[in-house]
Amino acid sequence: MEFKAKEIAEILNGTVEGNPEARVSAFARIENGKPGAICFFANPKYEHYVYECKADIIIVNNSFEPQKPVPATMIRVEDAYAAIARLLEYVTAKRRSYKRYRGLMSKRFLSTRLGRKVYLGNFSHVGRRTVVGDYTRIYENVYIGDDVKIGSRCIIYPGVRIYPGMVIGNNVIIHSNAVIGADGFGFAPLEDGTYKKIEHTGNVIISDDVEIGANTTIDKSQIGSTIIGKGVKIDNLCQIAHNVEIGENTVIAAQSGIAGSTKIGRHCVLGGQVGIAGHITIADNTSFGAQSGVLGNVRKEGQAFLGTPAIPYKDYLKCYAIFKRGAEEKK
SS3 annotation, the chain: CCEEHHHHHHHHCCEEECCCCCEECEECCHHHCCCCEEEEECCHHHHHHHHHCCCCEEEEECCCCCCCCCCCEEEEECCHHHHHHHHHHHHHHHHHCCCCCCCCCCCCCCCCEECCCCEECCCCEECCCCEECCCCEECCCCEECCCCEECCCCEECCCCEECCCCEECCCCEECCCCEEEECCCCEEECCCCCEEECCCCCEEEECCCCEECCCCEEECCCCCEEEECCCCEECCCCEECCCCEECCCCEECCCCEECCCCEECCCCEECCCCEECCCCEECCCCEECCCCEECCCECCCCCEEECCCCEEHHHHHHHHHHHHHHHHHHC
Query: Any idea which residues carry the catalytic annotation?
Result: 242
